[in-house]
Structure 1
Amino acid sequence: MSPTMTLSITDKTGFYSPVSFLSRTPELLAPEWLAELAADVAAGKAQAYEGEGGVQIVYRALPWDTDFFGTATFRIDYTAAPAGTPFAALQSAFAGLRAHLATLAPAFYLFAEVPSEDTAAIAGMSGAGYRLIETRLTCFRDDLQRFDASGTAAVRSATQDDIPELRVAAAQAVNHYDRFHADDFFSAEQADDFLSVFVENSVKGYADEVIVPADGPADAFLTGNYVNAPAALGGQKLGRMVLSAVTPARRGWYVKLIGALSARFQAAGVGTAFMTTQATNRAVLKVWAHHGYRVGRSSHIFSTYSRG
Protein backbone atom coordinates (compact mmCIF):
# COMPACT_ATOMS: atom_id res chain seq x y z
CA MET A 1 0.00 0.00 0.00
CA SER A 2 2.85 2.32 -0.79
CA PRO A 3 1.99 5.76 -2.21
CA THR A 4 4.85 5.22 -4.66
CA MET A 5 3.23 2.14 -6.20
CA THR A 6 2.94 2.45 -9.97
CA LEU A 7 -0.67 1.96 -10.98
CA SER A 8 -1.20 -0.44 -13.84
CA ILE A 9 -3.07 0.48 -16.98
CA THR A 10 -5.26 -2.23 -18.54
CA ASP A 11 -7.65 -2.52 -21.45
CA LYS A 12 -10.44 -1.66 -18.99
CA THR A 13 -8.92 1.51 -17.50
CA GLY A 14 -10.56 3.91 -19.92
CA PHE A 15 -14.01 2.65 -18.98
CA TYR A 16 -13.49 3.92 -15.42
CA SER A 17 -13.64 7.49 -16.70
CA PRO A 18 -17.14 8.80 -15.97
CA VAL A 19 -17.14 10.33 -19.46
CA SER A 20 -15.88 7.27 -21.34
CA PHE A 21 -18.89 7.65 -23.64
CA LEU A 22 -17.26 10.71 -25.21
CA SER A 23 -14.81 8.58 -27.18
CA ARG A 24 -15.35 5.56 -29.40
CA THR A 25 -11.97 4.41 -28.11
CA PRO A 26 -12.08 4.86 -24.30
CA GLU A 27 -8.46 3.74 -24.05
CA LEU A 28 -7.53 7.26 -25.22
CA LEU A 29 -8.85 8.55 -21.90
CA ALA A 30 -6.98 6.01 -19.77
CA PRO A 31 -3.55 7.70 -19.35
CA GLU A 32 -4.95 11.07 -18.26
CA TRP A 33 -7.56 9.56 -15.94
CA LEU A 34 -5.02 7.21 -14.34
CA ALA A 35 -2.47 10.01 -13.94
CA GLU A 36 -5.00 12.04 -11.93
CA LEU A 37 -5.75 9.03 -9.75
CA ALA A 38 -2.03 8.32 -9.24
CA ALA A 39 -1.52 11.93 -8.18
CA ASP A 40 -4.18 11.46 -5.50
CA VAL A 41 -2.42 8.34 -4.24
CA ALA A 42 0.93 10.16 -4.14
CA ALA A 43 -0.69 13.02 -2.20
CA GLY A 44 -2.32 10.66 0.30
CA LYS A 45 -5.84 11.50 -0.88
CA ALA A 46 -6.31 7.90 -2.01
CA GLN A 47 -4.66 4.61 -1.11
CA ALA A 48 -3.48 1.69 -3.22
CA TYR A 49 -3.96 -1.86 -1.98
CA GLU A 50 -2.09 -4.68 -3.72
CA GLY A 51 -3.30 -8.24 -3.53
CA GLU A 52 -1.77 -11.46 -4.73
CA GLY A 53 -1.13 -11.88 -8.43
CA GLY A 54 -0.60 -8.16 -8.95
CA VAL A 55 -4.22 -7.13 -8.36
CA GLN A 56 -4.36 -3.41 -7.51
CA ILE A 57 -7.30 -1.70 -5.83
CA VAL A 58 -7.37 2.05 -5.30
CA TYR A 59 -9.73 3.32 -2.62
CA ARG A 60 -10.21 6.48 -0.59
CA ALA A 61 -11.78 7.56 2.69
CA LEU A 62 -14.77 9.89 2.42
CA PRO A 63 -14.65 12.24 5.44
CA TRP A 64 -17.95 14.02 4.76
CA ASP A 65 -19.87 10.75 4.42
CA THR A 66 -18.10 9.39 7.49
CA ASP A 67 -19.27 12.34 9.56
CA PHE A 68 -22.79 12.31 8.16
CA PHE A 69 -23.48 8.59 8.68
CA GLY A 70 -21.32 8.18 11.76
CA THR A 71 -19.45 5.25 10.20
CA ALA A 72 -16.07 5.18 8.47
CA THR A 73 -16.91 5.31 4.77
CA PHE A 74 -14.66 4.33 1.87
CA ARG A 75 -15.01 4.16 -1.91
CA ILE A 76 -13.13 1.99 -4.40
CA ASP A 77 -12.12 4.08 -7.42
CA TYR A 78 -10.22 1.60 -9.55
CA THR A 79 -9.20 -2.02 -9.96
CA ALA A 80 -6.41 -3.31 -12.19
CA ALA A 81 -5.56 -6.95 -12.73
CA PRO A 82 -3.14 -8.56 -15.20
CA ALA A 83 -4.82 -10.35 -18.08
CA GLY A 84 -5.75 -13.89 -17.13
CA THR A 85 -5.65 -13.27 -13.36
CA PRO A 86 -7.29 -16.29 -11.68
CA PHE A 87 -10.63 -15.76 -9.99
CA ALA A 88 -9.13 -16.91 -6.69
CA ALA A 89 -6.62 -14.03 -6.77
CA LEU A 90 -9.34 -11.48 -7.52
CA GLN A 91 -11.53 -12.85 -4.76
CA SER A 92 -8.62 -12.85 -2.32
CA ALA A 93 -7.71 -9.24 -3.13
CA PHE A 94 -11.18 -7.89 -2.39
CA ALA A 95 -11.49 -10.02 0.73
CA GLY A 96 -8.07 -8.75 1.80
CA LEU A 97 -9.08 -5.13 1.34
CA ARG A 98 -12.15 -5.70 3.46
CA ALA A 99 -10.02 -7.30 6.20
CA HIS A 100 -7.57 -4.40 6.02
CA LEU A 101 -10.31 -1.81 6.47
CA ALA A 102 -11.60 -3.72 9.48
CA THR A 103 -8.22 -3.16 11.14
CA LEU A 104 -8.58 0.59 10.54
CA ALA A 105 -12.21 0.87 11.62
CA PRO A 106 -14.14 -2.12 13.02
CA ALA A 107 -17.34 -0.43 11.81
CA PHE A 108 -17.07 0.66 8.17
CA TYR A 109 -18.95 0.98 4.88
CA LEU A 110 -17.25 0.40 1.53
CA PHE A 111 -18.75 0.84 -1.92
CA ALA A 112 -17.55 0.87 -5.52
CA GLU A 113 -18.82 1.92 -8.92
CA VAL A 114 -17.50 -0.55 -11.47
CA PRO A 115 -17.86 -0.14 -15.24
CA SER A 116 -19.79 -3.06 -16.70
CA GLU A 117 -16.81 -3.86 -18.91
CA ASP A 118 -14.58 -4.79 -15.96
CA THR A 119 -15.90 -8.31 -15.51
CA ALA A 120 -12.80 -9.31 -13.52
CA ALA A 121 -13.48 -6.75 -10.79
CA ILE A 122 -17.17 -7.70 -10.78
CA ALA A 123 -16.28 -11.37 -10.32
CA GLY A 124 -13.76 -10.61 -7.57
CA MET A 125 -16.17 -8.43 -5.58
CA SER A 126 -18.99 -10.95 -5.95
CA GLY A 127 -16.75 -13.80 -4.86
CA ALA A 128 -15.61 -11.84 -1.80
CA GLY A 129 -19.19 -11.28 -0.68
CA TYR A 130 -19.69 -7.71 -1.89
CA ARG A 131 -23.31 -7.17 -2.88
CA LEU A 132 -24.67 -5.72 -6.10
CA ILE A 133 -26.80 -2.75 -5.03
CA GLU A 134 -27.56 -0.78 -8.16
CA THR A 135 -27.02 -0.82 -11.92
CA ARG A 136 -26.60 2.60 -13.52
CA LEU A 137 -26.96 4.00 -17.01
CA THR A 138 -25.38 7.26 -18.11
CA CYS A 139 -27.10 8.99 -21.02
CA PHE A 140 -25.78 11.90 -23.03
CA ARG A 141 -26.46 14.24 -25.90
CA ASP A 142 -23.36 15.42 -27.74
CA ASP A 143 -25.13 17.81 -30.12
CA LEU A 144 -26.70 20.02 -27.49
CA GLN A 145 -26.26 23.15 -29.60
CA ARG A 146 -28.90 21.64 -31.91
CA PHE A 147 -31.37 21.16 -29.04
CA ASP A 148 -34.70 22.86 -29.78
CA ALA A 149 -35.07 25.17 -26.80
CA SER A 150 -38.27 26.79 -28.02
CA GLY A 151 -41.23 26.23 -25.75
CA THR A 152 -39.22 25.13 -22.74
CA ALA A 153 -40.94 25.66 -19.40
CA ALA A 154 -40.34 28.83 -17.39
CA VAL A 155 -37.94 28.15 -14.53
CA ARG A 156 -35.84 30.17 -12.11
CA SER A 157 -32.74 29.59 -10.05
CA ALA A 158 -33.44 28.39 -6.53
CA THR A 159 -32.43 30.59 -3.62
CA GLN A 160 -31.69 29.83 0.01
CA ASP A 161 -35.26 30.86 0.82
CA ASP A 162 -36.38 27.78 -1.13
CA ILE A 163 -34.32 25.33 0.91
CA PRO A 164 -37.13 24.18 3.27
CA GLU A 165 -39.37 23.29 0.30
CA LEU A 166 -36.50 21.70 -1.59
CA ARG A 167 -35.63 19.49 1.38
CA VAL A 168 -39.21 18.29 1.62
CA ALA A 169 -39.32 17.57 -2.11
CA ALA A 170 -36.08 15.59 -1.95
CA ALA A 171 -37.36 13.48 0.94
CA GLN A 172 -40.78 12.88 -0.64
CA ALA A 173 -39.57 11.83 -4.08
CA VAL A 174 -38.19 8.44 -2.97
CA ASN A 175 -36.39 6.32 -5.53
CA HIS A 176 -36.29 2.80 -4.07
CA TYR A 177 -33.54 1.78 -6.49
CA ASP A 178 -30.88 4.40 -5.76
CA ARG A 179 -27.85 3.39 -3.71
CA PHE A 180 -29.07 4.89 -0.46
CA HIS A 181 -32.56 3.41 -0.57
CA ALA A 182 -31.54 0.03 -2.04
CA ASP A 183 -28.71 -0.72 0.41
CA ASP A 184 -29.87 -2.07 3.77
CA PHE A 185 -26.88 -0.40 5.43
CA PHE A 186 -28.84 2.86 5.39
CA SER A 187 -32.15 3.41 7.13
CA ALA A 188 -34.95 5.07 5.16
CA GLU A 189 -34.56 8.12 7.40
CA GLN A 190 -30.83 8.34 6.68
CA ALA A 191 -31.39 8.03 2.92
CA ASP A 192 -34.06 10.74 2.89
CA ASP A 193 -32.01 13.05 5.09
CA PHE A 194 -28.92 12.60 2.93
CA LEU A 195 -30.79 13.71 -0.19
CA SER A 196 -32.33 16.63 1.69
CA VAL A 197 -28.90 17.79 2.80
CA PHE A 198 -27.56 17.23 -0.70
CA VAL A 199 -30.04 19.62 -2.31
CA GLU A 200 -29.53 22.15 0.49
CA ASN A 201 -25.77 22.11 -0.12
CA SER A 202 -26.41 22.34 -3.85
CA VAL A 203 -28.20 25.65 -3.37
CA LYS A 204 -25.40 26.83 -1.07
CA GLY A 205 -22.83 26.48 -3.82
CA TYR A 206 -22.08 22.81 -4.46
CA ALA A 207 -24.08 22.94 -7.72
CA ASP A 208 -23.71 25.43 -10.54
CA GLU A 209 -27.40 25.22 -11.40
CA VAL A 210 -30.46 24.50 -9.27
CA ILE A 211 -33.67 25.20 -11.17
CA VAL A 212 -37.27 25.17 -9.97
CA PRO A 213 -40.59 26.15 -11.58
CA ALA A 214 -40.81 29.89 -12.10
CA ASP A 215 -44.18 30.13 -10.39
CA GLY A 216 -45.44 28.61 -7.16
CA PRO A 217 -43.58 26.61 -4.53
CA ALA A 218 -40.14 25.08 -5.08
CA ASP A 219 -41.55 21.56 -4.93
CA ALA A 220 -39.74 20.31 -8.03
CA PHE A 221 -36.06 20.83 -8.80
CA LEU A 222 -33.10 19.73 -10.90
CA THR A 223 -29.43 20.39 -10.14
CA GLY A 224 -26.48 20.53 -12.50
CA ASN A 225 -22.78 21.25 -12.79
CA TYR A 226 -20.40 22.44 -15.49
CA VAL A 227 -17.37 20.20 -15.94
CA ASN A 228 -14.55 19.91 -18.44
CA ALA A 229 -13.90 16.97 -20.71
CA PRO A 230 -10.44 15.33 -20.57
CA ALA A 231 -7.67 17.25 -22.29
CA ALA A 232 -7.30 14.32 -24.69
CA LEU A 233 -10.70 15.29 -26.06
CA GLY A 234 -10.02 19.00 -26.18
CA GLY A 235 -11.23 19.92 -22.69
CA GLN A 236 -14.65 20.90 -24.01
CA LYS A 237 -17.26 22.27 -21.60
CA LEU A 238 -19.79 19.68 -20.44
CA GLY A 239 -23.03 19.92 -18.50
CA ARG A 240 -23.91 17.27 -15.96
CA MET A 241 -27.41 16.88 -14.52
CA VAL A 242 -27.18 15.50 -10.99
CA LEU A 243 -30.19 15.33 -8.65
CA SER A 244 -33.88 15.84 -9.25
CA ALA A 245 -37.12 15.53 -7.35
CA VAL A 246 -40.72 16.18 -8.35
CA THR A 247 -43.55 16.00 -5.82
CA PRO A 248 -46.98 14.59 -6.75
CA ALA A 249 -48.33 18.15 -6.91
CA ARG A 250 -45.89 18.84 -9.79
CA ARG A 251 -46.69 15.74 -11.81
CA GLY A 252 -45.32 16.13 -15.34
CA TRP A 253 -42.62 18.58 -14.37
CA TYR A 254 -39.68 16.23 -14.70
CA VAL A 255 -39.79 16.38 -18.49
CA LYS A 256 -40.03 20.18 -18.26
CA LEU A 257 -37.01 20.45 -15.96
CA ILE A 258 -34.84 18.30 -18.23
CA GLY A 259 -35.78 20.48 -21.19
CA ALA A 260 -35.19 23.69 -19.23
CA LEU A 261 -31.74 22.69 -17.95
CA SER A 262 -30.78 21.44 -21.42
CA ALA A 263 -31.66 24.93 -22.69
CA ARG A 264 -29.57 26.57 -19.93
CA PHE A 265 -26.61 24.37 -20.74
CA GLN A 266 -27.01 25.21 -24.42
CA ALA A 267 -27.06 28.95 -23.68
CA ALA A 268 -23.87 28.53 -21.62
CA GLY A 269 -22.07 27.08 -24.63
CA VAL A 270 -22.21 23.42 -23.59
CA GLY A 271 -21.88 20.97 -26.46
CA THR A 272 -22.47 17.75 -24.50
CA ALA A 273 -24.76 17.15 -21.52
CA PHE A 274 -25.11 13.92 -19.55
CA MET A 275 -26.80 12.39 -16.53
CA THR A 276 -26.98 9.06 -14.68
CA THR A 277 -29.86 7.03 -13.29
CA GLN A 278 -30.72 3.46 -12.41
CA ALA A 279 -31.36 0.95 -15.21
CA THR A 280 -34.72 0.31 -13.53
CA ASN A 281 -35.81 3.94 -13.98
CA ARG A 282 -37.71 3.40 -17.22
CA ALA A 283 -39.83 6.54 -16.94
CA VAL A 284 -36.75 8.75 -16.61
CA LEU A 285 -34.98 7.00 -19.47
CA LYS A 286 -38.06 7.62 -21.63
CA VAL A 287 -37.93 11.34 -20.79
CA TRP A 288 -34.25 11.54 -21.69
CA ALA A 289 -34.89 9.79 -25.01
CA HIS A 290 -37.68 12.29 -25.68
CA HIS A 291 -35.11 15.09 -25.35
CA GLY A 292 -32.61 13.37 -27.62
CA TYR A 293 -30.35 11.72 -25.02
CA ARG A 294 -29.01 8.20 -25.57
CA VAL A 295 -27.24 5.56 -23.47
CA GLY A 296 -23.47 5.99 -23.30
CA ARG A 297 -22.19 4.07 -20.27
CA SER A 298 -23.28 1.39 -17.82
CA SER A 299 -21.87 0.59 -14.39
CA HIS A 300 -22.63 -1.34 -11.22
CA ILE A 301 -22.59 -0.31 -7.56
CA PHE A 302 -21.27 -2.88 -5.09
CA SER A 303 -21.01 -2.53 -1.34
CA THR A 304 -19.89 -4.31 1.79
CA TYR A 305 -19.88 -3.23 5.41
CA SER A 306 -19.24 -4.16 9.00
CA ARG A 307 -21.27 -2.93 11.95
CA GLY A 308 -18.28 -3.52 14.18
Structure 2
Amino acid sequence: MTSPRNGVAVRVESPTEGRNPRTADIDRVSTIDVLRMINDEDRKVPAAVAEALPELARAVDLGVAAISGGGRVHYVGAGTSGRLATLDAAELVPTFNAPADWFLAHHAGGQEALVRAVEEVEDLSGAAQIRRHAGENDLVVGVTASGRTPFVIGALEEARALGAHTVLVSNNASVPFTPDVLIALNTGPEAIAGSTRMKAGSAQKLVLTSFSTAVMVKLGRTYSNLMVSMRATNAKLRGRTIRILHEATGLPATECEQALAEASGDLKVALVHLLAGVPADRAAKALQDAKGHVRDALELLAR
Protein backbone atom coordinates (compact mmCIF):
# COMPACT_ATOMS: atom_id res chain seq x y z
CA MET A 1 0.00 0.00 0.00
CA THR A 2 1.28 3.49 -0.81
CA SER A 3 0.46 6.84 0.73
CA PRO A 4 1.19 10.23 -0.88
CA ARG A 5 3.60 12.50 0.98
CA ASN A 6 4.52 15.79 -0.68
CA GLY A 7 3.68 14.30 -4.05
CA VAL A 8 5.89 11.25 -3.51
CA ALA A 9 4.54 7.71 -3.11
CA VAL A 10 5.73 6.32 0.22
CA ARG A 11 5.48 2.63 1.04
CA VAL A 12 3.15 1.89 3.98
CA GLU A 13 3.73 -1.45 5.73
CA SER A 14 0.23 -1.86 7.16
CA PRO A 15 -3.22 -0.83 5.90
CA THR A 16 -3.89 0.76 9.29
CA GLU A 17 -1.07 3.26 8.65
CA GLY A 18 -2.43 4.57 5.36
CA ARG A 19 -4.42 7.76 4.89
CA ASN A 20 -8.17 7.42 4.62
CA PRO A 21 -9.58 9.41 1.66
CA ARG A 22 -13.03 9.45 3.28
CA THR A 23 -11.80 11.54 6.23
CA ALA A 24 -9.30 13.83 4.49
CA ASP A 25 -11.38 16.90 5.44
CA ILE A 26 -12.13 15.83 9.01
CA ASP A 27 -10.42 18.94 10.38
CA ARG A 28 -12.58 21.25 8.27
CA VAL A 29 -16.10 20.05 9.04
CA SER A 30 -18.53 20.65 11.88
CA THR A 31 -18.35 18.70 15.13
CA ILE A 32 -21.32 16.53 14.22
CA ASP A 33 -19.74 15.73 10.85
CA VAL A 34 -16.47 14.77 12.54
CA LEU A 35 -18.45 12.30 14.58
CA ARG A 36 -20.37 11.08 11.53
CA MET A 37 -17.11 10.39 9.71
CA ILE A 38 -15.79 8.39 12.66
CA ASN A 39 -19.07 6.54 13.04
CA ASP A 40 -19.17 5.68 9.33
CA GLU A 41 -15.74 4.09 9.68
CA ASP A 42 -16.72 2.27 12.87
CA ARG A 43 -19.62 0.61 11.03
CA LYS A 44 -17.08 -1.32 8.97
CA VAL A 45 -15.75 -3.13 12.05
CA PRO A 46 -18.45 -5.81 12.57
CA ALA A 47 -18.27 -6.77 8.89
CA ALA A 48 -14.50 -7.20 9.13
CA VAL A 49 -14.93 -9.47 12.16
CA ALA A 50 -17.69 -11.46 10.42
CA GLU A 51 -15.34 -12.27 7.54
CA ALA A 52 -12.87 -13.79 10.02
CA LEU A 53 -15.36 -16.01 11.90
CA PRO A 54 -14.16 -19.33 10.38
CA GLU A 55 -10.62 -18.62 11.56
CA LEU A 56 -11.92 -17.40 14.91
CA ALA A 57 -13.81 -20.68 15.35
CA ARG A 58 -10.57 -22.61 14.80
CA ALA A 59 -8.89 -20.46 17.43
CA VAL A 60 -11.71 -21.14 19.90
CA ASP A 61 -11.33 -24.88 19.40
CA LEU A 62 -7.59 -24.58 20.08
CA GLY A 63 -8.33 -22.59 23.24
CA VAL A 64 -10.81 -25.19 24.48
CA ALA A 65 -8.36 -27.99 23.74
CA ALA A 66 -5.56 -26.20 25.57
CA ILE A 67 -7.54 -25.62 28.77
CA SER A 68 -9.21 -29.05 28.65
CA GLY A 69 -5.75 -30.59 28.37
CA GLY A 70 -4.43 -28.80 31.43
CA GLY A 71 -2.85 -25.93 29.53
CA ARG A 72 -3.53 -22.20 29.40
CA VAL A 73 -4.24 -19.41 26.95
CA HIS A 74 -1.68 -16.62 26.74
CA TYR A 75 -2.44 -13.23 25.24
CA VAL A 76 0.52 -11.21 23.95
CA GLY A 77 0.32 -7.60 22.82
CA ALA A 78 1.72 -4.09 22.99
CA GLY A 79 0.05 -0.71 23.30
CA THR A 80 -3.69 -0.69 22.66
CA SER A 81 -3.67 -4.34 21.62
CA GLY A 82 -1.97 -5.39 24.83
CA ARG A 83 -4.31 -3.32 26.98
CA LEU A 84 -7.38 -4.84 25.32
CA ALA A 85 -5.97 -8.34 25.81
CA THR A 86 -5.20 -7.65 29.46
CA LEU A 87 -8.73 -6.33 30.01
CA ASP A 88 -10.29 -9.39 28.39
CA ALA A 89 -8.26 -11.82 30.50
CA ALA A 90 -9.02 -9.92 33.72
CA GLU A 91 -12.79 -9.95 33.15
CA LEU A 92 -13.08 -13.73 32.79
CA VAL A 93 -12.58 -14.39 36.50
CA PRO A 94 -15.57 -12.36 37.77
CA THR A 95 -17.75 -13.11 34.74
CA PHE A 96 -17.31 -16.88 34.53
CA ASN A 97 -15.57 -17.72 37.81
CA ALA A 98 -12.73 -18.97 35.62
CA PRO A 99 -9.50 -19.95 37.38
CA ALA A 100 -7.12 -17.00 37.27
CA ASP A 101 -4.45 -18.96 35.41
CA TRP A 102 -6.64 -20.10 32.51
CA PHE A 103 -5.99 -16.86 30.60
CA LEU A 104 -2.76 -14.93 31.11
CA ALA A 105 -1.93 -11.59 29.46
CA HIS A 106 1.61 -10.50 28.63
CA HIS A 107 1.74 -6.80 27.85
CA ALA A 108 4.90 -5.15 26.52
CA GLY A 109 6.24 -2.93 29.26
CA GLY A 110 4.28 -4.62 32.04
CA GLN A 111 2.00 -2.82 34.49
CA GLU A 112 3.48 0.63 33.84
CA ALA A 113 2.64 0.45 30.14
CA LEU A 114 -1.00 -0.35 30.91
CA VAL A 115 -1.65 3.18 32.14
CA ARG A 116 1.09 5.14 30.35
CA ALA A 117 2.24 4.71 26.77
CA VAL A 118 5.75 3.25 26.60
CA GLU A 119 6.16 2.95 22.86
CA GLU A 120 9.73 1.67 22.68
CA VAL A 121 8.98 -1.59 24.53
CA GLU A 122 7.01 -3.02 21.60
CA ASP A 123 10.31 -3.34 19.70
CA LEU A 124 11.59 -5.82 22.29
CA SER A 125 10.95 -9.51 21.76
CA GLY A 126 8.32 -11.18 23.92
CA ALA A 127 10.14 -14.51 23.68
CA ALA A 128 11.42 -14.37 27.26
CA GLN A 129 7.90 -13.88 28.61
CA ILE A 130 6.64 -16.96 26.83
CA ARG A 131 9.73 -19.00 27.70
CA ARG A 132 9.11 -18.34 31.40
CA HIS A 133 5.37 -18.88 31.47
CA ALA A 134 4.19 -21.10 28.59
CA GLY A 135 4.44 -24.78 27.74
CA GLU A 136 3.66 -27.20 24.94
CA ASN A 137 0.05 -27.68 26.06
CA ASP A 138 -0.72 -23.96 25.88
CA LEU A 139 -2.16 -21.66 23.24
CA VAL A 140 -0.45 -18.32 22.59
CA VAL A 141 -2.57 -15.59 20.99
CA GLY A 142 -0.72 -12.59 19.61
CA VAL A 143 -2.64 -9.36 19.01
CA THR A 144 -1.20 -6.60 16.84
CA ALA A 145 -2.68 -4.08 14.42
CA SER A 146 0.33 -4.06 12.09
CA GLY A 147 0.89 -7.82 12.32
CA ARG A 148 4.59 -7.09 12.73
CA THR A 149 5.10 -5.94 16.32
CA PRO A 150 8.44 -7.51 17.41
CA PHE A 151 7.18 -8.17 20.96
CA VAL A 152 4.31 -10.23 19.58
CA ILE A 153 6.17 -11.99 16.77
CA GLY A 154 9.03 -12.94 19.10
CA ALA A 155 6.54 -14.42 21.56
CA LEU A 156 4.82 -16.46 18.85
CA GLU A 157 8.13 -17.76 17.50
CA GLU A 158 9.13 -18.87 20.99
CA ALA A 159 5.72 -20.48 21.52
CA ARG A 160 6.19 -22.54 18.37
CA ALA A 161 9.66 -23.59 19.53
CA LEU A 162 8.11 -24.81 22.78
CA GLY A 163 5.53 -26.85 20.89
CA ALA A 164 2.56 -24.62 21.77
CA HIS A 165 -0.16 -23.71 19.28
CA THR A 166 -0.27 -20.14 18.01
CA VAL A 167 -2.91 -17.65 16.87
CA LEU A 168 -2.24 -14.20 15.43
CA VAL A 169 -4.93 -11.50 15.43
CA SER A 170 -3.83 -8.83 12.97
CA ASN A 171 -5.33 -5.95 11.02
CA ASN A 172 -2.81 -6.69 8.31
CA ALA A 173 -2.98 -9.93 6.34
CA SER A 174 0.69 -9.68 5.36
CA VAL A 175 2.63 -10.94 8.40
CA PRO A 176 6.19 -12.25 8.90
CA PHE A 177 5.09 -15.28 10.92
CA THR A 178 2.77 -18.12 9.91
CA PRO A 179 0.69 -19.12 12.96
CA ASP A 180 -1.59 -22.12 13.28
CA VAL A 181 -4.46 -19.66 12.82
CA LEU A 182 -4.28 -16.17 11.32
CA ILE A 183 -7.28 -13.97 12.13
CA ALA A 184 -6.87 -11.14 9.62
CA LEU A 185 -9.20 -8.19 10.21
CA ASN A 186 -9.63 -6.00 7.14
CA THR A 187 -10.54 -2.74 8.87
CA GLY A 188 -8.56 -0.59 6.44
CA PRO A 189 -7.11 2.87 7.13
CA GLU A 190 -8.20 4.65 10.28
CA ALA A 191 -10.21 7.87 10.40
CA ILE A 192 -7.00 9.40 11.76
CA ALA A 193 -4.07 7.76 9.98
CA GLY A 194 -2.26 5.28 12.20
CA SER A 195 -4.56 5.72 15.22
CA THR A 196 -5.15 1.99 15.71
CA ARG A 197 -7.03 2.52 18.96
CA MET A 198 -9.97 3.25 16.64
CA LYS A 199 -11.24 0.66 14.12
CA ALA A 200 -8.35 -1.75 14.58
CA GLY A 201 -8.75 -1.69 18.35
CA SER A 202 -12.53 -2.04 18.13
CA ALA A 203 -12.20 -5.09 15.89
CA GLN A 204 -9.62 -6.64 18.21
CA LYS A 205 -11.92 -6.06 21.19
CA LEU A 206 -14.78 -7.84 19.41
CA VAL A 207 -12.52 -10.75 18.47
CA LEU A 208 -11.07 -11.15 21.96
CA THR A 209 -14.45 -10.93 23.68
CA SER A 210 -15.99 -13.39 21.22
CA PHE A 211 -13.02 -15.75 21.50
CA SER A 212 -12.91 -15.92 25.29
CA THR A 213 -16.70 -16.03 25.67
CA ALA A 214 -16.98 -18.88 23.16
CA VAL A 215 -14.22 -20.77 24.99
CA MET A 216 -16.12 -20.36 28.27
CA VAL A 217 -19.37 -21.54 26.66
CA LYS A 218 -17.70 -24.62 25.16
CA LEU A 219 -16.13 -25.40 28.54
CA GLY A 220 -19.58 -25.44 30.15
CA ARG A 221 -19.30 -22.20 32.07
CA THR A 222 -22.83 -21.22 30.96
CA TYR A 223 -26.26 -22.84 30.84
CA SER A 224 -28.20 -21.53 27.87
CA ASN A 225 -27.11 -17.89 27.83
CA LEU A 226 -26.90 -17.56 31.60
CA MET A 227 -23.73 -17.19 33.68
CA VAL A 228 -23.92 -20.16 36.03
CA SER A 229 -20.27 -20.69 36.95
CA MET A 230 -20.32 -18.35 39.91
CA ARG A 231 -20.50 -18.71 43.67
CA ALA A 232 -22.59 -16.51 45.98
CA THR A 233 -19.81 -15.04 48.11
CA ASN A 234 -21.53 -11.74 49.01
CA ALA A 235 -25.00 -10.18 49.10
CA LYS A 236 -24.74 -8.73 45.59
CA LEU A 237 -23.72 -12.05 44.04
CA ARG A 238 -26.31 -13.91 46.10
CA GLY A 239 -29.03 -11.73 44.62
CA ARG A 240 -27.67 -12.30 41.12
CA THR A 241 -27.55 -16.08 41.56
CA ILE A 242 -31.14 -16.13 42.78
CA ARG A 243 -32.22 -14.19 39.69
CA ILE A 244 -30.30 -16.58 37.44
CA LEU A 245 -31.88 -19.61 39.12
CA HIS A 246 -35.32 -18.05 38.71
CA GLU A 247 -34.66 -17.31 35.02
CA ALA A 248 -33.43 -20.85 34.38
CA THR A 249 -36.11 -22.73 36.30
CA GLY A 250 -39.11 -20.40 36.58
CA LEU A 251 -39.36 -21.31 40.26
CA PRO A 252 -40.13 -18.78 43.03
CA ALA A 253 -37.24 -16.95 44.66
CA THR A 254 -37.87 -18.74 47.96
CA GLU A 255 -37.28 -22.17 46.38
CA CYS A 256 -34.20 -20.85 44.59
CA GLU A 257 -32.80 -19.48 47.85
CA GLN A 258 -33.34 -22.81 49.58
CA ALA A 259 -31.69 -24.71 46.74
CA LEU A 260 -28.71 -22.38 46.78
CA ALA A 261 -28.32 -22.92 50.53
CA GLU A 262 -28.46 -26.70 50.09
CA ALA A 263 -25.79 -26.38 47.39
CA SER A 264 -23.50 -24.35 49.70
CA GLY A 265 -23.73 -21.36 47.39
CA ASP A 266 -22.75 -23.26 44.22
CA LEU A 267 -25.10 -22.01 41.52
CA LYS A 268 -24.49 -24.92 39.13
CA VAL A 269 -25.23 -27.51 41.80
CA ALA A 270 -28.38 -25.64 42.81
CA LEU A 271 -29.48 -25.44 39.18
CA VAL A 272 -29.04 -29.16 38.49
CA HIS A 273 -30.67 -29.94 41.84
CA LEU A 274 -33.75 -27.95 40.84
CA LEU A 275 -33.97 -28.98 37.19
CA ALA A 276 -33.37 -32.69 37.78
CA GLY A 277 -35.19 -32.92 41.10
CA VAL A 278 -32.33 -34.74 42.80
CA PRO A 279 -30.51 -34.02 46.09
CA ALA A 280 -27.69 -31.51 45.96
CA ASP A 281 -25.02 -34.16 46.51
CA ARG A 282 -26.24 -36.15 43.49
CA ALA A 283 -26.32 -32.97 41.45
CA ALA A 284 -22.72 -32.21 42.45
CA LYS A 285 -21.60 -35.72 41.50
CA ALA A 286 -23.33 -35.52 38.12
CA LEU A 287 -21.64 -32.20 37.42
CA GLN A 288 -18.29 -33.68 38.33
CA ASP A 289 -18.86 -36.60 35.96
CA ALA A 290 -20.00 -34.19 33.24
CA LYS A 291 -16.89 -32.01 33.70
CA GLY A 292 -19.02 -29.06 34.76
CA HIS A 293 -21.46 -29.05 31.84
CA VAL A 294 -25.00 -28.54 33.16
CA ARG A 295 -26.78 -30.04 30.15
CA ASP A 296 -24.54 -33.12 30.19
CA ALA A 297 -25.16 -33.55 33.93
CA LEU A 298 -28.90 -33.39 33.35
CA GLU A 299 -28.63 -36.06 30.65
CA LEU A 300 -26.63 -38.32 32.98
CA LEU A 301 -29.29 -37.98 35.67
CA ALA A 302 -32.10 -38.66 33.18
CA ARG A 303 -30.71 -42.07 32.20
- Bucket of the pairwise TM-score, normalised by the shorter protein: under 0.3
Of Structure 1 and Structure 2, the greater strand share is in 1
Instruction: Please tell me whether Structure 1 or Structure 2 has the larger radius of gyration of its CA atoms.
Output: 2
With normalisation by structure 2, the TM-score equals 0.23
Of Structure 1 and Structure 2, the greater helix share is in 2
- Structure number with the bigger relative contact order (C-alpha 8 A, sep ≥ 6) is 1
